Amino acid sequence: MIEALLNYEFLQNAFFSGLIIGIIAPLLGVFIVVRRMSLIADALSHVTLAGIAGSLYISQTFSAFALLNPIYLGIVASVSGSILIERLRRLYKHYEELAIPIIMSGGIGLSAIFVSLASGFNTDLMSYLFGSVSAVSRQDLWVIIAIAIVVFIFLFLFFKEMFVLSFDEEYANASGLPAKWIHFIFMIVVALVIAASMRIVGILLVSSLITLPVACSMRIAKGFKQTILFSILFGEAAVIIGLVSAYYLNLAPGGTIVVTSIIILLIVIVAKKIVLKAMQKGEQVQ
């Protein structure tokens, strides 16, 4: 594969995009999971699909847009979705989770309409649903790099505020932090990361790369920084193993990455149980 990686641009695109997403998705994922917002990531990915389906429809219908990269409309849809979710959450204060099915079904509904308007899609849509090793363009890679830079700047500027906000929202408000604004920017950054990740793992599996590495990490990490570090390591492991096996077995990388993540999760859970039991036994002997 290393030789192929040196020779083929499409493989480089996929591999580097994967490595970047393997960092940024779990990195933001830690905040998403501890704030109990995992399902929001799912809803946003379905909205992104509406943007992508819309874009594919536009390029099929209007020849002037034939070369339009669907990632742009995907980003627009995802960001608008995150803003809408926030509005709905404020509207239904006591039923915040209602925003999720509303936005999610809205996203799928719109996608279905665009797909039927274009009277069905080619293999392109499949690659957006489940990811693809061959479909990542150089342009996609640049967009993903730009989004990664946005994520790093955001966390560089707001890391300590995000920690307070995630740990204890009431305290964040009481100590006079601009919690609302930071949360708003966070939601937009999440929307960007979801749009970036869909090229590799596909819309339907984006949230897995955000949540599964964090789920693994939380079993064993001590403290917040360690949770982030382990999440990124698990994310990268899943992406690398997933992409390599997708390439050799000719499978959709979304599938291989997610299945790898789940296998890692199972190993972590079982290993922790065994270690705990061994420790208990050790104590009893003493």
Residues that bind other proteins (CB under 8 A): 34, 36, 157-161, 163-164, 166-168, 170-171, 173-178, 217-218, 221-227
Closest distance to other proteins from the beta carbon of 218 (Å): 5
Which residue number, 102 or 229, has a Cβ lying nearer to other proteins?
Answer: 229
Which residue number, 60 or 173, has a Cβ lying nearer to other proteins?
Answer: 173
The answer for 8, left when phi > 0, alpha when psi is -120 to 50, beta otherwise, is beta
| Spatial distance between the Cα atoms of 186 and 242, rounded to a whole number of angstroms | 28
Which residue number, 73 or 264, has a Cβ lying nearer to other proteins?
Answer: 264
Closest distance to other proteins from the beta carbon of 40 (Å): 16
Closest distance to other proteins from the beta carbon of 178 (Å): 8
Structure tokens at 67: 């070369």
Closest distance to other proteins from the beta carbon of 164 (Å): 5
Which residue number, 166 or 261, has a Cβ lying nearer to other proteins?
Answer: 166
Which residue number, 218 or 251, has a Cβ lying nearer to other proteins?
Answer: 218
Closest distance to other proteins from the beta carbon of 161 (Å): 6
Which residue number, 15 or 154, has a Cβ lying nearer to other proteins?
Answer: 154
Which residue number, 138 or 225, has a Cβ lying nearer to other proteins?
Answer: 225
Closest distance to other proteins from the beta carbon of 149 (Å): 17
Closest distance to other proteins from the beta carbon of 162 (Å): 10
> Which H, E and C letters describe the chain, residue by residue?
CHHHHHHCHHHHHHHHHHHHHHHHHHHHHHHHHHCCCHHHHHHHHHHHHHHHHHHHHHHHHCHHHCCCCHHHHHHHHHHHHHHHHHHHHHHCHHHHHHHHHHHHHHHHHHHHHHHHHCCCCCHHHHHHHHCCCCCCCHHHHHHHHHHHHHHHHHHHHHHHHHHHHHHCHHHHHHCCCCHHHHHHHHHHHHHHHHHHHHHHHCHHHHHHHHHHHHHHHHHHCCCHHHHHHHHHHHHHHHHHHHHHHHHHHCCCHHHHHHHHHHHHHHHHHHHHHHHHHHHHHHHHHC
